[in-house]
Amino acid sequence: MSHNKALDNLTREQLTELLEIYSKNWLAADGIWFQSVEKKHGMEEAMYHDVEIWKKFTVVEALKLKKFLDLPERPGLEGLAKALSLRFYANINDDETRIEGNTLLYRMVDCRVQTARKRKGMEFHPCKAVGIVEYGEFARAIDDRIACECVSCYPDITDETCCCSWKFTLKEDTIMANANRDFIVEKVKEVLAAPSCCPELKDAAQKYLAALDTADEKAAGKMLIAELEEDVQSIDDTLAFFCSDAAKEIFGAETAANMAETARKVKASGEKICFCPACRAGKAILDNKEALL
């Protein structure tokens, strides 16, 4: 990144003032394009583009701040509070943040956008629809366990003491769901790495991993479950197979006999499932299949 040497000659106070100017310029550009579309095509069209822009920009802003602050992958509400305090908005608006338990309440006490529109005699910006996207996606980019809900925002004002208010919740069920999902992913990788994994199961496992974080994830998960339910063998079926002529032909009589003996010992220990790595990992996935649905 290039360095603007002109900044080297500025005092701390001047740099702070310049940061405020940059922030106001950014906000002015945001308002100018919006009002241009609003004037020519109406509020509904302007709001559509506003939502689409914030859907992407808020994630970019969050990730850059997350990197700047050197936050861990899941920094919780404390990390979110730090990131919120360094947004462009924080330089020009009056806001406040309060953490209580597993929730964070963020209130915009004074908003330059609404103040400017009021001064110009314009209708207030119906920013609730945009805010739901803006704050929700920002929070998830900081920590995917955090959910956001609107407390008060125009046109649905429930708190007259602020311009808008948002509640962020670190959901315990989300934490558990993410933990279960991470466990499933690791077990799917174990299935793929197992020499005993059949081609059909390998294909289903690969498709599931490729579908992670896409709209196809649940469908791929269901296909994986169906394949596992067909392929994961009981210890009785495993023992019967290694005692068969087919096993002797495939592995040789001595190996088949040794595997049959292992199956007998596993069965005697009380295990119900085949002892091969693919079946073991597959059984663990089936035991937690709700995380895939």
Tens of pLDDT, residue by residue over 137-168, are 999 999 988 999 999 998 898 988 988 999 99
- pLDDT confidence of 178, banded at 50, 70, 90? low
Beta bridge partners of residue 146, listed in sequence order: 170
Q: What is the domain range of residue 73?
A: 14-170
- Structural domain includes residue 269: yes
Whether the CA torsion 288, 289, 290, 292 is positive or negative: it is: positive
Angle at 39 between CA 34 and CA 45, to 5 degrees: 60
Instruction: Choose one of 154, 170, 186: the last residue of a domain.
Output: 170
Q: Return the SS3 of 213.
A: coil
Give the number of domains in the chain: 2
Q: Of 143, 170, 197, which residue constitutes the final position of a domain? A: 170
Claim to verify: residue 284 and residue 255 sit in the same structural domain: yes
Indicate the angle between helix axes 217-231 and 277-287, nearest 10 degrees: 130
What is the pLDDT, as a whole number, of residue 177? 64
The verdict on 153 and 189 lying in the same domain is no
pLDDT tens figures, 117-127: 888 888 888 88
CATH number where 99 lies: 3.30.1380
Element containing residue 148 per DSSP (H, E): strand 146-153
Query: Residue 79: what pLDDT?
Result: 96
Element (H, E) at 138: helix 128-142
Buried b (16+ CB within 10 A) or exposed e, 120-141: eeeeebbbebbbbbbbbbbbbb
Task: Let me know if residue 2 belongs to a domain.
Answer: no
Query: Are the CB atoms for 23 and 88 separated by under 8 Å?
Result: yes
**Which residues lie below 8 Å from residue 43, measured CB to CB, with a gap of 6+?**
123, 126
How buried is residue 90: exposed, middle or buried, by Cβ count under 10 Å (0-12/13-18/19+)?
middle
Q: Of 145, 170, 195, which marks where a domain is finished?
A: 170
Same domain membership, residue 156 and residue 189: no
CA atoms within 13 A on the CB side of 58: 21
Q: Are residues 166 and 224 in the same domain?
A: no
Asked whether residue 221 carries a pLDDT value surpassing 80, the answer given is: yes
Q: Is residue 66 situated within a structural domain?
A: yes
Average confidence (pLDDT) over 4-9? 90
* Token pair belonging to 229: 């339910």
For residue 3, is it within any domain?
A: no
Going by pLDDT thresholds of 50, 70 and 90, the confidence category of residue 289 is confident
Residue 197, domain member (yes or no):
yes
The pLDDT value recorded for residue 179 is 64
Flag whether pLDDT at 176 surpasses 70. Answer: no
Return the C-alpha torsion angle 269, 271, 277, 281, nearest 10: -140
229 and 131 inside one domain? no
* Three-class DSSP category at 110: strand
Question: Residue 135: its pLDDT value, please?
Answer: 94
Q: Is residue 285 part of a domain?
A: yes
User: Would you state the structure tokens that stand for residue 74, as one six-digit string?
Assistant: 């899941």
Residues 258 and 190 in one domain: yes
Mean pLDDT of 68-91: 92
On whether both 74 and 138 belong to a single domain, the answer is yes
Q: Which of 75, 285, 278 is nearest to 181 (CA)?
A: 285
The answer, yes or no, to whether residue 172 has pLDDT greater than 70, is: no
Q: Do 142 and 194 sit in the same domain of this protein?
A: no
Helix (H, G, I), strand (E, B) or coil at 188: helix
- Given pLDDT bands bounded at 50, 70 and 90, which one contains residue 209? very high
Residues 163 and 185 placed together within one structural domain of the fold: no
Same domain, 18 and 93: yes
Is residue 9 in a domain? Answer: no
- Judge if 114 and 29 occupy the same domain: yes
Same domain, 135 and 256: no
Structure tokens at 140: 């998830």
- Which pLDDT belongs to residue 202? 94
Cis preceding-peptide flag for 72 (omega within 30 of 0):
no
pLDDT more than 90, % of the chain: 59
pLDDT(256) > 60 = yes
Q: What is the DSSP annotation of 215-242?
A: TTHHHHHHHHHHHHHHHPPBHHHHHHHH
Residue 7 lies in a domain: no
CB atoms within 10 A of CB 75: 18
